[in-house]
Amino acid sequence: MFSVRLIEHPLPTTERDVDGLIAWMIDTLSLVRKRGDATADHGRAGSVHRLLRDHLFGRPEQSWDAQMLADELAQMPASLNHHLGRLVETGLIGFTNEGKGWRKYYLRGGSLSNAVAYLQQHSKLVLQQRFEFIAEHWNRTGEPLPVELPQEDGAPFSLGLVDHRPLNEGADGNLISHWMNDFGLLGERPGGEINADSLSVRLFTTLLERNLPLSLDEAAEMHGGQKARVGRILERFRATGMIERVPRTDRLTTALWTAMTTQHQRRGEDWMLKKGGFQRLLNEKQQSNLLMDLRKGKLSIDSVGNHLANVEAREQMLLLNLLGGRLPMGYRMAGGSAAAVQLRVQDRLDRVLRRMVRVAGLLDEARSNARPNE
């Protein structure tokens, strides 16, 4: 079964440091769980690092049985089999049962570049096939906000890709929770989040149905749970590239009302006219009506909307900024359709895969250059 978890990392700073290139591959493929403080050797003396550097990546013309590797790496067979199993699932490593005795493990294609090419093609195919499931559950119309101000990709990209397989009878969860788990939406160890009614599943289902971005306070009110936990779940969703965080411009009128009432009480009308942006952005009638309502304590969210009906949304955003107000942030699917979200994820996946191709080429080149000196 093909199964890989990819995490985006910057390319190594040096192209000649073989250990650095190997460590980058390990981190990108999430082959070693990071625990505790960083070690002085940055994990380069670890069993996975040595397995790849000295054997599977370093000598692609050979095959290695588990007993031989266990002896050379001083590893318990159970631990070594776990690492080998993970590598086989990525598609980089193959094995053969020809002959008698232990399985023989080898680098697919005879070079790391060829092995990465296999992973690259399989990853794209799995993403395309598995996203058909979300298209069937998509209920958003994709209506845009009054002003679209998309945020840059702030969350480090992290995506799981797993071949489709039938859901086992009696397994916890349902089809959508297992789909989410395969893509890394439930984290490394999902635990109870794999259940069909878990907070993660309910939040993701809401995002598949909702046009407006979902704020943390709304999510906590709808589904329960502490806002901090809800925020961590939504940020984990955002790391996959399927979800984006954007300013809630649909709440622009509410934010303006809050800023106007607050600044009128604190600084008065003269400040609002000069430094608050009223004279700069509003005509005399709009200024007069807003200040009159503020003076009488009658300004409401609806009246703000009525008075600013002829002011462009971007001008209202500037007014809010001059008044010192802030828009809340919200989470939504990163596209108006399932196909648009798939394209967004594909773009970020391609960026990681291109880096893998580059690092694989550098490692193959370093191995070729080292041969005459062996």
At 189 the pLDDT is: 87
Whether residue 213 is predicted with pLDDT greater than 50 in this model: the reply is yes
At 32 the pLDDT is: 87
Domain boundaries defined on the chain: 3-121+351-373, 139-146+160-244, 251-322
**Average pLDDT of the residues of the chain:** 90
Confidence of residue 100 (pLDDT cuts 50, 70, 90): low
Q: How many CB atoms lie within 10 A of CB 12?
A: 19
- 237 by DSSP, 3-state: which? helix
Has domain 3-121+351-373 been given CATH number 1.10.10.10?
yes
pTM, full prediction: 0.86
Whether residue 215 is predicted with pLDDT greater than 80 in this model: the reply is yes
Reduced 3-state DSSP string for 255-306: HHHHHHHHHHHHHHHHHHHHCCCHHHHCCHHHHHHHHHHHHHCCCCHHHHHH
Of residues 237 and 66, the one with the higher pLDDT is 237
At 16 the pLDDT is: 83
Average pLDDT over residues 160-174: 90
Share of the chain above pLDDT 90, in %: 71
Query: What pLDDT, in 10s, does the model give residues 33-45?
Result: 765 445 555 567 7
Please, what's the b/e burial string for 99-116 (b: 16 or more CB within 10 A of its CB; e: otherwise)? eeebbbbbbbeebbbebb
Chain-centroid distance, C-alpha 184: 9
Q: Which two tokens stand for residue 236?
A: 């984990």
At 164 the pLDDT is: 94
Whether residue 69 is predicted with pLDDT greater than 60 in this model: the reply is yes
| AA identity, residue 235 | E
At 371 the pLDDT is: 62
Average pLDDT over residues 304-327: 92
Whether residue 231 is predicted with pLDDT greater than 50 in this model: the reply is yes
Long-range contacts: 81-88, Cβ < 8 Å, 24+?
Answer: 83/31, 83/47, 83/48, 83/51, 86/31, 87/31, 87/56
At 374 the pLDDT is: 47
Query: What pLDDT, in 10s, does the model give residues 264-279?
Result: 999 999 999 999 999 9
At 99 the pLDDT is: 63
Whether residue 370 is predicted with pLDDT greater than 90 in this model: the reply is no
Share of the chain above pLDDT 70, in %: 94
Q: List 5's β-bridge partners, or say none.
A: 160
Q: Are 135 and 112 in contact (CB under 8 A)?
A: no
Find the largest Cα–Cα distance for the chain. Answer: 92
Q: Which of 4-8, 10-14, 114-118 has the lowest mean pLDDT?
A: 10-14
Query: What pLDDT, in 10s, does the model give residues 73-97?
Result: 888 888 888 899 999 999 999 998 7
